[in-house]
Amino acid sequence: MNGPKHKLCTKLSSTYLRKWWITIAIASILIVGGVLVACEFSVLINAIVDRMVALRPGAKTFGWWAKPPVEPHISLYIYNVTNADDFLSNGSKAIVDEVGPYVYSESWEKVNIVENDNGTLSYNLRKIYSFREDLSVGPEDDVVIVPNIPMLSATSQSKHAARFLRLAMASIMDILKIKPFVQVSVGQLLWGYEDPLLKLAKDVVPKEQKLPYEEFGLLYGKNGTSSDRVTVNTGVDDIEKYGIIDQYNGRTHLPHWTTDECNHLNGTDGSIFPPHIDHDRVLHVYDKDLCRLMPLVFEKEVMTSNEVPGYRFTPPEWVFADVESHPENMCFCPAGQPSCSPNGLFNVSLCQYDSPIMLSFPHFYLGDESLRTQVEGISPPEKEKHQFFLDVQPKMGTTLRVRARIQINLAVSQVFDIKQVANFPDIIFPILWFEEGIDSLPNEVTDLMRFAEQVPPKIRVALIVGLFALGVALLLLSTFCLIRNSHRQSTLHLEGSNYLATAQVDMNKKQNKDTQPARY
């Protein structure tokens, strides 16, 4: 009796139900897979992006980094002094006329690249400038009148020297007929002209104190390969260090400021940043002429003309603030409180051979109004025209668009013992401002960025929906079939039991009939 019943249950379990248990297992795996995709797919994509952007020689991104496929431009606006004589003789307020832009296209290339054993690359930067008269207001031969920076730097530095030295300087300047303002062409102001003071210094100053140039120009020596040796992290071993400067001319810190924090070099050149940028990240850019790291904070989300989303980062308002409003800037005052810059200025004299050069944003944007009104002719600053900003693709950390806007000013000190400048007051005199940057990247680069930004989220959603939908469908189907087959199993079991019971009754009747005595 037990034999047929056991065989029936075994048959039902193996033949009809096993495949549905397997289906339930597959459905569960699909659902778990959907959960894993929802939670970990972004981690996988980030790992792929990290490997793709890291600076590996031979990779496409390495080639873009070594020789960027862009044509940056620098536009310069010069403050031409229109009343130099009245300013010096009558004490009139200086009147300036902003002339420009004078535009140069640039070609960037990293040369002498060496791969180091510690996950870094060393290189020299080659920049070639080409004048674009078609984009400029005039030729490089246009003549402007500007402060005599070598002369005024020398007189300002002599303010606290011995009086006989100042008198001697006045005599030398009288003999050489050096005046506080010079009339030069735009090309000379930028790329260099022979200055009598520098020529004299070359002959009389001790060798160890000589300046490394014989002519004066605001961009003198920058058209060509820089002698500065830069070492950056590749990001291969640690993506969080991708593009971060490791050493600059063998130094890991700047030598100028009073704290390690202000002497840090842990920024990039502004073209790349460690990827996966969020709104809370503070980016840092280092340029030798800035003499410090430039911090950049998130301002807003932007969209490029190629439909690549980006984040706009700008310097915080306190970056050139005075120490009264931002005490953390005290470290940029190497000689204590008296050497601190006014609000809106940054003193880079330590990086400019002690010339009293002050940097600001154009038209003294974010600076005190009194700086702008020291001279006439400078219009109020406008954010759209004068803000320093940088747009970054957050997933890959690549710069999309740049407007690096900086103004160069000269901090002149009045020195009564030098007759040539006796009437030149203490003043922050604006020289020029420029904007350097790029408008867009080539389609080849933006297509990759757009793919990295748009396709993985779509794949993630498709996988999540597909895995969950298929898993749930299989689970429902297998559950329904299990329930139905379980009902059939119970019915068959009941029918089998009834059959056995009926057979037993019939057998008992037959046995009883056979055992009954015969009747005669």
Q: Indicate whether 116 pLDDT > 90.
A: yes
Rounded to two decimals, the pTM is 0.82
pLDDT in tens, 200-212: 776 666 555 556 6
Lowest average pLDDT, out of 170-179, 409-418, 431-440, goes to: 170-179
Name the residue with higher pLDDT: 7 or 406.
406
Q: Give 49's pLDDT tier (boundaries 50, 70, 90).
A: confident
State residue 277's pLDDT score: 93
What whole-number distance in Å separates Cα of residue 360 and Cα of residue 358?
A: 7
Name the residue with higher pLDDT: 291 or 164.
291
pLDDT in tens, 279-312: 999 999 999 999 999 999 999 999 887 788 899 9
Q: Give 471's pLDDT tier (boundaries 50, 70, 90).
A: low
State residue 414's pLDDT score: 84
State residue 30's pLDDT score: 67
Q: Give 520's pLDDT tier (boundaries 50, 70, 90).
A: very low
What whole-number distance in Å separates Cα of residue 218 and Cα of residue 359?
A: 13
What whole-number distance in Å separates Cα of residue 28 and Cα of residue 50?
A: 32
Q: Indicate whether 117 pLDDT > 50.
A: yes
What whole-number distance in Å separates Cα of residue 193 and Cα of residue 425?
A: 26
Token pair of 294 as six digits: 């430039």
In percent, how much of the chain has pLDDT > 90?
Answer: 46
For the segment 91-96, the average pLDDT, to the nearest whole number, is 90
In percent, how much of the chain has pLDDT > 70?
Answer: 76
236 Cα distance to chain centroid: 18
State residue 8's pLDDT score: 46
For the segment 263-274, the average pLDDT, to the nearest whole number, is 92
* Domain boundaries along the sequence of the chain: 16-53+459-492, 58-272+348-379+408-439
Q: Indicate whether 458 pLDDT > 70.
A: no
Q: Indicate whether 481 pLDDT > 90.
A: no
Report yes or no: 202 and 150 within 8 Å, Cβ to Cβ.
no
Name the residue with higher pLDDT: 191 or 507.
191
pLDDT in tens, 350-379: 888 778 899 999 999 999 999 999 999 999
Q: Indicate whether 144 pLDDT > 90.
A: yes
Q: Indicate whether 491 pLDDT > 60.
A: no
Name the residue with higher pLDDT: 20 or 172.
172
State residue 503's pLDDT score: 53
For the segment 18-23, the average pLDDT, to the nearest whole number, is 67
Q: Average model confidence (pLDDT) for the chain?
A: 83
DSSP-assigned states of every residue in 294-338: EEEEEEEEEE-TTS-EEEEEE--TTTT--TTT-GGGGGG-TT-GG
Q: Indicate whether 1 pLDDT > 50.
A: no
DSSP-assigned states of every residue in 112-154: EEEE-TTSEEEEEEEEEEEE-GGGSSS-TT-EEEEE-HHHHHH
